Amino acid sequence: MDIQLEKRKGLRPKHYGYIALGALILFVGWKLLFANSISTFRTEKDKLSIATVIDGKFDDYITINGSVAPISTIYMDAYEGGRVSEKLVEEGAMVQQGDIILKLENMNLYEQILASESNLALKQNDLRSTRLTFDSRQVEGRRTLATTSTDLQRLKRNFEQNKALYEDELISREAYLTSKENYELAQKQYEIVKLQTEQDDALRKTSLSGLDTDLERMKKTLSMVYQRLDHLNVRAPADGQLGFLDAEIGQNIAQGQRIGQINVLTDFKIEAAIDEHYIDRVKRDLTALLERNDSIYPLRVRKVYPEVRNGRFQVDLVFTESKPETIRTGQTYNIKLQLGASNDALLLPKGGFFQSTGGQWVFVVDENGAEALKRDIRIGKQNSRYYEVLEGLEPGEKVITSNYDSFGQAQRIVLK
């Protein structure tokens, strides 16, 4: 009797082929679905800049452009207004402190001087008249005091004589009393004249002192007016070079108007504009290097200006040792400004992508070089050649560093 065998359950070899085929179909379908689900941009690979992420030493510096300027500039403002009558020095000339550069004329100032001189003359005449008056009163008062004093002595002597005679009963009582009354009256008159003389002396002293003070004040005022007259001669405030002069013969200059500047050429500084991205890192006393004709000249940041204009801020740098022999005002140099110490880091060459993404993401090229996918990254410091990559990339990966503006909202770049 035949025994019926049960069919063995499980996968047979032929089933593996079916499974592999189904998996391949699913993968291709997923790939096509994924490709159609993200925004894609196609471009020629040769038109792009592609750089490789590397491990290396990050030098924390930036390269800036600076122009040579005088170590200091002294501005010339007009102390007095007036019309330019003479121009003695031209722009670019070397001047010494006190040299006359311009001569102005001011008719109103001349009239003020004449008025001040007239007032001073009147005040001097008043002082002379007052002094003569007080001198006359002083002489008259002293004459009266002398006369009164003499009368007092004579009447006193007469009184004393009559008193003795009256006591001896040689004269009448009336004669005695008359001499006594005359003596007492003379005493009172003398005291009055003396008091008046003293008051006149005190008044004379006070009045003349006040007049002298007024006269000195007027003399000082006139001296100041003469100084204003001298200010019509515009002089160089220091030794140096006349940088610019905004004045021509016949031109009217207002009081306080800026008319020129003196460049002090005893030393030089470098003026540079830096991107506002570095404003929190640039401080005073940072070091920098200027390379010229195979020589290196060290610099130091002397001043950082706080204002930001058009996305840039200004700094002044000065030479700490020697400086180029042929240095001239207005020359431009490339300078390496050291922001910090060097360190090991992951480096990405600089490119135009940063302006499009702000360094927050990049397109990373796959191993086959056929496409690039968007990936978030984090960038730290930067110098003139590299960005310091903190997160998102590995050494050896390739990144599109060209500008991304033409890619639009694409998430994937197909490279032809």
Whether residue 331 is contained in a domain is answered as yes
Residues 313 and 284 placed together within one structural domain of the fold: yes
pLDDT in tens for each of the 416 residues of the chain?
455 545 455 555 555 566 666 666 766 555 554 445 578 888 888 888 899 999 988 888 888 899 998 888 888 898 888 899 989 888 888 888 889 999 998 888 888 878 877 887 787 777 778 778 877 888 888 888 888 889 889 989 998 898 888 888 888 889 889 988 999 998 999 899 889 888 888 887 787 777 777 778 777 877 777 777 888 888 888 888 888 888 889 899 888 898 888 888 888 899 999 988 888 889 999 999 998 888 889 999 999 998 999 989 999 999 998 888 888 888 899 898 988 878 888 999 988 899 888 889 999 999 888 899 999 999 988 887 889 999 999 999 999 999 998 888 889 989 88
Whether residue 22 is contained in a domain is answered as no
Whether residue 258 is contained in a domain is answered as no
Q: What is the C-alpha separation between 268 and 240, in angstroms, rounded?
A: 12
Write b or e for each residue in 113-127: b if 16 or more Cβ atoms lie within 10 A of its Cβ, otherwise e: eeebeeeeeebeeeb
Whether residue 251 is contained in a domain is answered as no
Position 35 scores a pLDDT of 47
Residues 350 and 328 placed together within one structural domain of the fold: no
CATH of the domain at 300: 2.40.30.170
Whether residue 259 is contained in a domain is answered as no
Residues 205 and 271 placed together within one structural domain of the fold: no
Residue 65 · residue 335 · CB < 8 Å:
yes
Residue 67 · residue 382 · CB < 8 Å:
no
CATH of the domain at 355: 2.40.420.20
Whether residue 191 is contained in a domain is answered as yes
Residues 324 and 368 placed together within one structural domain of the fold: no
Residues 294 and 307 placed together within one structural domain of the fold: yes
Q: What is the pTM of this model?
A: 0.50
Eight-state DSSP code of residue 265: E
Residues 297 and 332 placed together within one structural domain of the fold: yes
Please identify, among 338, 353, 384, the residue that sits at the C-terminal boundary of a domain.
338
Please identify, among 318, 338, 358, the residue that sits at the C-terminal boundary of a domain.
338
Instruction: Please report where in the chains the tokens 């960005």 appear, as a residue.
Output: 387
Residues 308 and 353 placed together within one structural domain of the fold: no
Residue 93 · residue 263 · CB < 8 Å:
no
Whether residue 389 is contained in a domain is answered as yes
Residues 333 and 364 placed together within one structural domain of the fold: no
Strands 378-382 and 386-391: antiparallel
Please compute, for residue 25, the number of CA atoms within 13 A of its CA located in the half-sphere on the CB side.
6
Residues 112 and 225 placed together within one structural domain of the fold: yes
For the chain, what is the domain count?
A: 3
Domain encompassing residue 280 = 61-69+264-338
Please identify, among 278, 310, 338, the residue that sits at the C-terminal boundary of a domain.
338
Residues 185 and 129 placed together within one structural domain of the fold: yes
Q: What is the C-alpha separation between 299 and 337, in angstroms, rounded?
A: 9
Whether residue 2 is contained in a domain is answered as no
Residues 354 and 408 placed together within one structural domain of the fold: yes
Q: What is the C-alpha separation between 404 and 362, in angstroms, rounded?
A: 9
Position 12 scores a pLDDT of 56
Residues 369 and 388 placed together within one structural domain of the fold: yes
Q: What is the C-alpha separation between 129 and 39, in angstroms, rounded?
A: 107
